[in-house]
Amino acid sequence: MTLPRQTPLILVLCTGNSCRSHMAEGILRAASGGLFRVASAGSKPAGYVHPLSIRALAEIGIDISGHTSKHMDLFLNHPVETVITVCGKADQVCPVYPGQVNRYHWPFDDPAHATGTEDEQMQVFRRVRDEIRRVFEAYARGRIDQAHLR
C-alpha cells in the first residue's frame, strides 16, 4: 500500500475493521476538505466491510463501497500522525506508529452485533453512524480551524 506523504495520515482502528472504523474513515475523509489523509484498519480484520455500514453511509451521501478490511500492521512502516481507536479492544492492542503524535480513544457500540430484522439492525447502524458523525465532524472542524490559525 502506497500513500502520498504530503499531508498527515489519520488512522482509525477497531477490531474487525468492518463497521465503525470504516464509517469513521468515510465521515472524516468527507469532512476533512483534503487537510489530511484518512485510513482505517483492524487488529483482527473481518475481511469485508459490512453491507449495512455501506448502506448507512450511502444514506448521508458518502460512498465506502470501495473500502477493504485490512490489518493495522499494514501501516507500521507509514508515518501515522494520529491514531483514533473506536473500540476498547483495538485501544488495548494498538501499536505506536512511526511519526505518531496524537492518540485518541472514542469508543462506539459495535453495530455488527445488532439483532432482529434487517430494518431493526439498520436502526442500530444509523444510530452508531450518527454518533460517529457528530464526533468525527467536530474533530475535523477543530483540525481545520487549527490549520487556518497557522
Domain range summary for the chain, segments of one domain joined by +: 9-142
Q: What is the CATH number of domain 9-142?
A: 3.40.50.2300
Grid coordinates representing 117 are: 430484522
State mean pLDDT over 85-105: 79
Q: Is the dihedral of CA 76, 82, 86, 90 positive or negative?
A: positive
Point out the least confidently predicted range of 3-12, 30-39, 126-135.
3-12
Q: What is the DSSP string of 53-76?
A: HHHHHHTTT---TT----BGGGGT
Active site residues: 14, 87, 94
- Greater confidence (62 vs 7) lies with 62
Query: Residue 91 forms beta bridges with which residues?
Result: none
Residues 14-32 pLDDT 10s: 999 999 999 999 999 999 9
The predicted-structure confidence for 32-80, as pLDDT tens digits, reads as follows 988 899 999 999 999 999 999 999 999 999 999 999 999 999 999 888 9
Mean pLDDT estimate for the chain: 90
